[in-house]
Chain A
Amino acid sequence: MYVAVKGGERAIDNAHKLLADARRGDRDVPEVSLDQIDNQLALAVDRVMSEGSLYDRELASLAIKQARGDLIEAIFLLRAYRTTLPRFGASEPLDTGAMDIRRRVSATFKDLPGGQVLGPTFDYTHRLLDHTLAEQSDVEEPATAPAEAGRFKSVAELLAGGGLIEDDDPPAGDVGDLTREPLSFPAKRDLRLQNLARGDEGFLLALGYSTQRGFGRTHPFAGEIRYGEVEVEFFAEDAGFAVPLGSIAVTECQMVNQFTGSANRAPCFTRGYGLVFGQSERKAMAMALVDRALRARELGEETGAPAQDEEFVLSHSDNVQATGFVEHLKLPHYVDFQSELGLLRKLQAEFHARDAHTETPIQDAAE
């Protein structure tokens, strides 16, 4: 005799215990520490902080550990935690010109004030598996040089003097926050940039790549990419001035894009902008490409490519939303499936009944 299935609650509890067991794995292998994740998987931590929209290396490391290295799951954990935090306001705009630079490269000028600083990068390494890393490694101290004092203007700033590149004055008024107000279209650039900064690295990478292959070409040059520490300041109403809150590591990309001009604008270079927490040039560059592509309408350019379609890009960039909705197909849908089964049976019965009543001439075999 069939009886209704019960016991979902116990099954769930047991599934969670099994998850904890799988997370820990072989008990003879030392457990990974948050410090180890933070130090030795630093770029994973950077990505989780960026797309999780929360700059906290310790919490991001915890999320990665809890998620068993599934970075989208870790991003989700960090986002869900972030929601519970009080929001005091927006910081003063970061002055990336005053960055304590660890890396800075320009693809548009051979040399420029401050110079090219290669920093810690995979670029120019040969991608050969390094078997010495399979064992405990003995790493020599890196070479150092005294930091150059002063503020390094970005390539975009250097170009701005000559009127060769569009102005980039921030609009007056408060910046938006799509985690506090639902996004509506058309969205202003502040919200677009916030969306892209939180957006999935892989999605932006593919979109940025598509513009290079002709789906909304933007003629980009990597004007400058810089990575390092910047100070965050917050305007304190009580004190009446901006107070430093600490410093964070960011990667900034300023794309310089060709613009042929329109009826009311002279030809000039235009900008695409990318900024992410930590070190991720791939994400910052992809973001800058997509930012510029999304400005097609504003600049009176032809539109129609996926990367230029604001609603398409901004509605699908968020991997926490995307993974939730894709994976929700795992949830039971048997009520709706039952309705579809019922309809299908009815339509098939009607089809065959109709078939039986009409005389179908025998088809020519050659047809």
Chain B
Amino acid sequence: MSAPVYNFAYLDEQTKRMIRRAILKAIAIPGYQVPFASREMPMPYGWGTGGVQITASILGPDDKLKVIDQGSDDTTNAVSIRKFFVKTAGVETTTKTNEATVIQTRHRIPEQALTEDQVLVYQVPIPEPLRFLEPRETETRRMHALSEYGLMHVKLYEDIARHGHIATTYAYPVEVGGRYVMDPSPIPKFDNPKLSDSPALQLFGAGREKRIYAIPPYTHVKSLDFEDHPFEPYRHDAQCELCGAMNSYLDEVITDDAGSRMFVCSDTDFCEDRRAAGHHGPQGGPAAAATKEESAHG
């Protein structure tokens, strides 16, 4: 029983070709979910296998990879995925958004605008935006084919009737290039505006559900809404305590048993950059690059 030798970026070349074909088809039909023969990866389904397979298929030896989860490079699963590619592809990694050529993400779009030289790879749990309205794949595929999206509008309208707002705060459905309704993955709706007309290629991989879809660069992406109830991006009534940012997505941190809380940027690279540039919030000293070593007891 000798240890197996794995190909560059783990997947064999034949599998990569199959995935690249699915990616090309996805780019050709923006927002359309392309079925692909998702492989069983050495990490669990639901933990980013779709994103990992896309990244493995597009990664070259000269790429620089950034992996984030919840906007942070240091969350456990982001660390695990980054290590996987360091081990299997030996590529350079970075936490700097502007230095990365490929960024794999779960649940966030970086605050800093992306460029034409970058690809953003999303990990997707449930690719079907209609899934919780209609559980059957046979039905939802038909609905997409016929652009039959009335059910989705009814759902959003019912929210307004009941709550006065659309009560979807993440995985907020979008229409891509005027045709397919698409699930942008569970990003907060705060991030939705960044999906549209992005210079970067955006690829979405759902491993367990075996689907790949894409938003090509400079594609118009519209968050679903109504004329009298236009899409409202989420706003925090707070600023980052560390860097003072007023316009970034914030994590709420509970700081004591009495329930005291504070807000800090979810995008850790963005926050660090701002502090390095001299910005600071109520609690962040200038260039507070000081970081705490988590007590590493596992």
Contact = CB atoms under 8 A, between A and B. Distances in A.
Interface of A: 1-18, 58-59, 62, 76, 79-84, 86, 179-186, 311, 315, 320-321, 323-328, 331-336, 338-343, 346-347, 350
Contacts of A13: 296
Chain A's interface: helix, strand, loop or mixed, by majority?
helix
A181 B47 contact: no
B37 interface: yes
A184 B108 CA distance: 30
Contacts of B251: 334-335, 338
B238 to A, nearest CB: 10
A339 B169 contact: yes
Contacts of B35: 182, 184
B38 interface: yes
Shortest beta-carbon contacts, A-B, top 4: A324-B45, A328-B46, A15-B298, A324-B44
Given A84-B6, A184-B35, A327 B46 contact: yes
Contact of A4 (B77, B164, B268): B268
B291 A325 contact: no
Given A14-B296, A311-B137, 7 more contacts: A2-B253, A5-B74, A12-B79, A14-B297, A328-B44, A335-B251, A347-B167
Contacts of A8: 74-76, 78-79, 294
Which of B1, B46, B70: most chain A CB closer than 10 A? B46
B208 A2 contact: no
Contact of B255 (A2, A80, A331): A2
A324 B77 CA distance: 13
A77 to B, nearest CB: 8
B137 to A, nearest CB: 6
Contacts, number: 189
Contacts of A11: 76, 294, 296-298
A331 B47 contact: yes
A139 B144 CA distance: 65
A338 B107 CA distance: 12
B183 interface: no
B140 to A, nearest CB: 11
Contacts of A10: 293-294, 296
Nearest to A310: B138
A186 B139 CA distance: 12
Interface residues of B, number: 79
B293 A335 contact: no
B264 A2 contact: yes
B79 A181 contact: no
A7 B296 contact: yes
A277 to B, nearest CB: 17
Contacts of B69: 331-332
B80 A328 contact: no
Contact of B45 (A14, A15, A321, A342): A321
Contact of B252 (A80, A182, A338, A346): A338
Interface in B64-78: 69-71, 74-78
A81 B40 CA distance: 8
A347 B159 CA distance: 12
A174 to B, nearest CB: 15
Contact of B170 (A18, A84, A326, A339): A339
Nearest to B236: A342
Given A2-B241, A4-B268, A350 B164 contact: yes
B188 interface: yes
Contact of A336 (B37, B107, B250): B107
Contacts of B6: 84
Interface string B52-87: 000000000000000001110011111110010000
